[in-house]
Chains A and B, each alone.
Chain A
Amino acid sequence: MNRQNRKSGRRSPVASVSLLLIGLLATGGAYAAFTASTASAAVDLSSPEVIDQGAKLFAANCATCHGQQAQGTQNGPSLIGVGAASVDFQVGTGRMPMQASGPQAPSKPVQFEESQIKALAAYVASLAPGPAIPSESQLTGGDVAAGGELFRINCAMCHNVAGAGGALTEGKYAPVLKGVAPVHVYEAMLTGPQNMPAFNDLNLTPDDKKNIIAYLQYNEENPSAGGLELGSLGPVSEGLFLWIFGLGGIVALTVWITAKSN
């Protein structure tokens, strides 16, 4: 009877699941290939068409809070003079457009395509001069040791010595630096987004910034020599681990030693 059912055209559940998987993979793959191809396209930030496209995107997505001429409203700051670097950081990490008002705009899935982000950056940069998006050569080839020293002096107090992030006041926090693109690290240092202080080129020179990026990348690529990192949070997570598993193990052994054999 079963066999007859199968022969009469009823598909097995495995077949439908695999069909579904194939379909998903095909559309996902095509989408990834499509977005990858658009991302790699270079955008000329000074061309009038790009600036025009950026102006339209700005009016549709940003002007509610930042004003029609990016002059700022009571809900959002003025963007005149913040530069392309600021826009590329805020929009490129998904912090803008902001989802909800709160102590801090969190990083979230990016809302725009790469070319749209560049167009927005071009529009804001056209309003007044400001920091530009760093080029690829400004991000690679830094000195890890020098970067480590600069990171410990200027960044580690908020972002943790391993870049694991940390809490600030009243719900604000310094975000985790692992997995952040070097270009966004550079732009953050240059522009000082939200409550982070800005580190202009006279405070941390372009070489200094390059070194700091090299240090962060080294940290990310090399495993901790001390073994399990426990989030690199220091005494908080390490202490908790020992209190629970270390002391717990000792208590369990003590109970076992003193219990009567059955």
Chain B
Amino acid sequence: MAQNENGSSDIVPMTPPSGAVVGTGVVPADTFENPGLPPHRPRVTDLDPKKKKRAARFVVAMFWLSVIGSLFAIFAYMFFPIEDGNMASVRLNTLFMGLGIALSLLAIGIAAVHWGKAVMADKEGVDERHPVRGTEETRARAVEIFKEADEESGFSRRTLIRGGLIASLVAFPLPAIALFRGLAPMDVDPNTELKHTMWKKGLRLTQDPTGTPIKASDVTIGSAFQVIPEGLVDLPEHEKLDAKAKAAVLLVRLKPEDLNWTSEQRASWSYDGIVAYSKICTHVGCPVALYEQQTHHLLCPCHQSQFDIANECKVIFGPAARPLPQLPITVDSEGYLVATSDFTEPVGPSFWERSTS
């Protein structure tokens, strides 16, 4: 039992005032009362027959404006035809057609809404809420209907038909799965495809889009070359795009003393200050080619990841998780830049099997 701190006398509960209900002491007296429906307010069109007439005229006018809009669209199609090779004619054609069709639809909508709001009879009705659950009889009858249907169709009894129905429903989405699988490479392992590019030992670095090989002496300090592998331009169109999407490289030259390397091996991947990095962002694969030649920073335009070319393309800002992969390069006997191998890690964004070999 609760005890008073200063003595042994019990704490005595307050006796409620007469007429109060026990347990409702905190309920305020001015509980919210249903205010009921607001009083009916007649519209100006109900009070003033002139205004009603005007509203009706407005509705008629809008409907006819819609007719004008439709006709205008037809005339626009006839009088502003699309001429071959003339982009301005396409613009005029679509602009006037669009304006005509927009006017015709918008005017119908406005007329219909205004008709309903201002001209049609203004009566307010009340639908009372009622319990959702049906009566016992209705519910029993519903169950009965299901049983009757089952009996008449033989759904439970004819197991062969039922089995056939279920089998056909299970089978019909399967072609979609096959179609979607067909979007991925069929005869090769997608995993290997993601991990390897067209680059290999001895392949020359060539210019995008011409495929002209690049000499080391062409790349002056401060230059930026957009690079594709030798032979890419000769591939069929579809394969070309697939290969380019992985093998695109940015080639720049810095002063050799500006480049900081973490190991001798990484340093050997460059040639006299010339470095080649994958252009595919390690975040979600946008092409990173916004190169600032004084700060040596590379910016990805999609999500503002920044890479520092002077420090092995380390991420210095943004959501990218890894540095851009570096393409090991050197020069061949004729002075052209060549790759010494493929990228040593998968280019582009992460995927589930990336770390497995």
Contact = CB atoms under 8 A, between A and B. Distances in A.
Interface string A177-209: 000000000000000101111111011000000
Contacts of A199: 223-224
Interface string A205-228: 000000000000000001101110
A195 B295 contact: yes
A127 interface: no
Interface residues of B, number: 40
A134 interface: no
A197 B299 CA distance: 13
Given A157-B290, A197-B291, A261-B43, A192 B222 contact: yes
A154 B113 contact: no
A153 interface: yes
Given A157-B287, A196-B293, A197-B223, 14 more contacts: A157-B301, A169-B295, A169-B306, A172-B292, A192-B223, A197-B222, A198-B223, A222-B87, A223-B88, A223-B91, A225-B88, A225-B90, A260-B41, A261-B117
B161 interface: no
Contacts of B294: 194-195
10 contacts: A153-B208, A153-B226, A158-B290, A197-B291, A199-B224, A200-B220, A203-B225, A225-B87, A225-B90, A261-B117
B105 to A, nearest CB: 12
What's the dominant secondary structure at chain B's contact region?
A: mixed
B339 interface: no
Contacts of A21: none
Given A157-B289, A195-B292, A223-B91, A169 B220 contact: no
B3 to A, nearest CB: 63
Nearest to B43: A261
B301 A166 contact: yes
A227 B306 contact: no
A168 interface: yes
Nearest to A156: B289
Interface string A156-180: 0110000000101110101000000
A162 to B, nearest CB: 14
A200 B223 contact: yes
A262 B43 contact: yes
A113 interface: no
A174 B301 CA distance: 12
Which of the listed residues A150, A169, A256, A261 has the most CB atoms from chain B within 10 Å of its own CB? A261
Contacts of A196: 293
B45 interface: yes
